[in-house]
Amino acid sequence: MRVASIDIGTNCVLLLIAEARGGALVPLLERATITRLGQGVDKNRRLLPEATERTLRCLSEYAGVLGEFAVDRLDAVGTSAMRDAEGGDEFVTRATALLGRAPRVIDGNEEARLTFAGALSGLEVEGDVTVFDIGGGSTEIIVGSSTSGVGTIGTAVSLDIGSVRLFERHLRHDPPTARAQTLADAPIDERRDRRHKRGQCGENEKDGVRVPPAKKGMRDAVGDEAVDRR
């Protein structure tokens, strides 16, 4: 069986195609395309037409690749930009027509869980683990452990701090001015200092979330939510 996942992010769209062989998933193709779906979302709170069209063209290309690889099952998810912006319903409708599968708009909890699972998938890591996922619109920080290839999440947090969001707010020059760099660093420093004072990451904080134990990687991402493409 061949399975695929598509991650529609604020800055880029990721495609992974893998094949089940002897109880393991073997990657066949990985692709990343910068479409910046989240262009202007932090300011306007809606998907811009040009960003939408760029991303849909990418999904159209990916749909062709899925056909070439005869993929059996697909799961597609949208993250920060699609969570924050108006116009998401129309985007999902058009994306569904291209992929034959409606992208799921996942919340920060689910994004953190899948990030942790994907980061540990295929790695022989034992003991305590901290995973950072710095995206275009948000950043996930997950603290947990790994035993015999099985990851367990202790605490996790999803923050509205991302590279596209901070770039559009503060950076106007290349290289950035010292003041712009200070402004871009400020929300990161503020969150770090808040956590340092409270002595923990995630638990008992309004922007922290506790999430259930993770399974391994893409096998989880294309489980019950996946659909048969045949």
Residue with tokens 């002897």: 22
Nearest to 32 by CA among 72, 74, 65: 65
pLDDT of residue 195: 66
pLDDT of residue 199: 57
* Listed range (6-15, 106-115, 173-182, 201-210) with the worst mean pLDDT: 201-210
pTM of structure: 0.79
Nearest to 171 by CA among 160, 151, 192, 186: 186
Nearest to 157 by CA among 194, 182, 125: 194
* pLDDT (mean) for 48-55: 96
Where does 38-171 show beta strands of DSSP type E? 73-78, 104-105, 127-134, 139-147, 150-159
* Burial environment of residue 89 by CB neighbours within 10 A (0 to 12, 13 to 18, 19 or more): exposed
| DSSP H or E run through 51 | helix 49-68
* Listed range (103-107, 111-115, 148-152, 213-217) with the worst mean pLDDT: 213-217
Contact 75, 104 (CB under 8 A): yes
Which domains are assigned to the chain? Answer: 2-107+218-228 (3.30.420.40), 109-209 (3.30.420.150)
Confidence of residue 69 (pLDDT cuts 50, 70, 90): very high
* pLDDT (mean) for 146-164: 87
Cα 47 to Cα 29: distance, rounded to the nearest angstrom: 29
What pLDDT, in 10s, does the model give residues 123-135? Answer: 888 899 999 999 9
Q: What is the sign of the dihedral through the CA atoms of 62, 68, 69 and 72?
A: positive
What pLDDT, in 10s, does the model give residues 171-217? Answer: 888 888 999 989 988 888 888 777 666 655 544 343 444 443 333 33
* pLDDT (mean) for 54-81: 96
Say if residue 212 is preceded by a cis peptide, omega within 30 of 0: no
Q: Which residues contact 170 (CB under 8 A, 6 or more apart)?
A: 176, 180, 183, 184
Tokens at 98, concatenated: 């291209």
* pLDDT (mean) for 112-125: 87
